[in-house]
Amino acid sequence: MIPEVSAVVPTKDRWPLLERALRSVLAQDGVVVEAVVVDDGSTDGTRERLSAWGDPRVRYLRHERSEGVSRARNRGTEAARAPYVAFLDDDDVWAPDHLNRLLAALPPGGSFAFARHYVADLEGKILSRGGDPPAEGLYELILARNPVVTPSAVLAWREAVSAAGGFDPRFSITADWDMWIRLGQHGPVGVSRALTVGYTVHDTSMRTDVDRLLRERTALEEKHRELLRRHRMGLGDELFWQWIAAGRAPAAQRRLAARWYVRHQRRYARPWRMARGLARLARAPLLADDGLLRTSGEQSPPWLSPGG
């Protein structure tokens, strides 16, 4: 029996990118797929353009006023008809075998699986690639630094997403991190080693507001305090803090990250690791050497190109 997957695609005023994303959904091999597009208040004619497609595999839902990406993802999940849901941001793309590989990677009784990704520009040029997380301890790694990176990498049981409570609209930058923490409590997590997601960076990409990210991290840690206590850890390991330090204003970011890191280590009584962590922060531009994002330089696969 051919598996059925609903792709939940939130969008707002990005028709050219949305069209590219949807073509990658409809090109999936070996699955019966529907695309549930949730338009979060677009004013660029998205409704009319999708209607002109006339493809029955694409379903359109609309918020007349923007309600945020978390509520858009939740509405798409609730409307999904398939037993599996996969998330795709409107500026990202999938390889044709993306969903098939994720279905194979989902463990028996598992809650979700995620794939590795390329970071690419709008022309499909590879800028870097996601690291290769270990097979063991994936859930602890999610607590440490969210190796999933982008919702576009995830396939999950629809019922597990609903049981976990969906995406929390109180969070913005960390809404997906919070979701994976809760979803991972409903069963094992799997990972596909194949690079099947194109995580696109461009002028209208969401920029990381470091101050807001750190505030949300604190709120997220408070929300999951008992879970973290059981695991005897806090949210964020050395690589997480090094990623913070490698921001657009390196000197200022390093100082900010160092202050938070020292506070974090004191709270969780790990003084023996503090020197190593601070050394990592000092060389933040070398983040790629630590495997979170590795510079690739490889030739782009056809599906990453604008016409792919």
- DSSP for 87-142, please give it: E--TT-EE-TTHHHHHHHHSPTT-SEEEEEEEEE-TT--EEEEE----SS-HHHHH
Supply the pLDDT for residue 136: 84
- Is this structure's pTM higher than 0.75? yes
For residues 148 and 139, the answer to whether their CB atoms sit within 8 Å is: no
Domain locations in the chain as residue ranges? 4-206+298-304, 210-293
Residues in CB range of 98: below 8 A, 6 or more apart = 24, 28, 86, 115, 196, 197
Instruction: List 175's β-bridge partners, or say none.
Output: none
Instruction: Show pLDDT as tens, one digit a residue, over the chain (308 residues).
Output: 899 999 999 999 999 999 999 999 999 999 999 999 999 999 999 999 999 998 999 999 999 999 999 999 999 999 999 999 999 999 999 999 999 999 999 999 999 999 999 988 889 899 888 888 888 889 999 998 899 989 999 999 999 999 999 999 999 889 999 999 999 999 999 999 999 999 988 765 555 567 788 888 889 999 999 999 998 887 876 667 666 655 544 455 556 555 655 555 555 445 555 555 555 555 544 444 334 444 556 789 999 988 76
Q: What is the CATH number of domain 4-206+298-304?
A: 3.90.550.10
Q: Is residue 241 within a helix (H) or strand (E), and if so which, with residue range?
A: helix 238-245
**d(C-alpha 240, C-alpha 287), whole Å:** 10
Q: Which three-class secondary structure state does DSSP give residue 17?
A: helix
Task: Quickly count: other Cβ atoms within 10 Å of residue 222's Cβ.
Answer: 10
- What is the DSSP secondary structure assignment for residue 269, as one 8-state letter? T
Where residue 124 falls (left for φ over 0; alpha for ψ -120 to 50; beta otherwise) is left
For residues 247 and 198, the answer to whether their CB atoms sit within 8 Å is: no
